[in-house]
Structure 1
Amino acid sequence: MIRNVVLVHGAFADGSGWRGVYENLTARGYRVTIVQNPLTSLADDVAATTRVLDRQDGPAILVGHSWGGTVITEAGAHANVAGLVYVSALAPDAGETTSQQYEGFAPTPDFVIDVTEDGYGFLNPGTFQAGFAADATDADAAFLRDSQVPVNMSAFGTPVKNAAWRDKPSWAVIATDDKAFDQAMLQHMAKRIGARITDVPASHALFLTQAGVVADVIDQAAKNA
Structure 2
Amino acid sequence: MRIPSFSSAVRSVAVGAAAAVCLFGAAATPAFAAPIKNIVLVHGAFVGGGGWRPVYDILTKDGYNVTLVQEPLTSFKEDVTATKRVIDGIDGPVVLVGHSYGGAIITEAGNDEHVKSLVYIAAHALDVGETEASNGKKYPNATKAVVKTPDGFLYLNPANYPSDFAADLPRAQAEFEAHSQMPTAAAVFTAEIPDPAWKNKPVWYMVAKADKIINPDLERMYAARAHAHTVEIDGASHSVYESHPKEVAALIEQAAQQSGQ
Q: Give the structure-2-normalised TM-score.
A: 0.84
Tell me whether 1:160 sits opposite 2:171 in the alignment.
Answer: no
Please name the residue that 2:91 is paired with: 57
Q: Is the 8 A contact 2:141 2:212 kept in 1?
A: no
Which of 186, 197, 209 is the aligned partner of 2:243? 209
Work out the number of aligned pairs and report it: 224
Paired residue secondary structure (1:103): helix
Aligned counterparts of 1:111 and 1:34: Cα–Cα separation in 2: 29
**Aligned pairs (5 A) from 1:35-184:** 35-108=69-142, 110-184=143-217
Q: 1:159 to 1:57 in 2, by over 3 A?
A: same
Q: Select the structure of larger CA radius of gyration.
A: 2
Q: CA deviation at 1:21?
A: 0.4
Aligned counterparts of 1:103 and 1:179: Cα–Cα separation in 2: 14
Which runs of 5 or more structure 1 residues have no equivalent in the other structure?
none
Q: Percent identity?
A: 43
Aligned counterparts of 1:7 and 1:17: Cα–Cα separation in 2: 10
Please name the residue that 1:198 is paired with: 231
Deviations 1:55-80 (A, max 9, x none): 11100100000000000000000111
Paired residue secondary structure (2:91): coil
Q: Is the 8 A contact 1:4 1:31 kept in 2?
A: yes
Which of 39, 42, 53 is the aligned partner of 1:5? 39
Paired residue secondary structure (1:69): helix
Q: Is the 8 A contact 1:12 1:122 kept in 2?
A: yes
Q: Give the structure-1-normalised TM-score.
A: 0.97
Q: Is the 8 A contact 2:155 2:184 kept in 1?
A: yes
Aligned counterparts of 2:245 and 2:144: Cα–Cα separation in 1: 22
Aligned counterparts of 1:107 and 1:42: Cα–Cα separation in 2: 22
Which runs of 5 or more structure 2 residues have no equivalent in the other structure?
1-34
Instruction: Report which stretch shifted further, 70-79 or 142-151.
Output: 142-151
Q: CA deviation at 1:200?
A: 0.8
Q: CA RMSD in A?
A: 1.0
Paired residue secondary structure (2:177): helix
Report the AA paired with residue 129 of structure 1: P
Q: CA deviation at 1:192?
A: 1.4
Q: CA deviation at 1:182?
A: 1.5
Paired residue secondary structure (1:145): helix
Which of 12, 15, 36 is the aligned partner of 2:49? 15
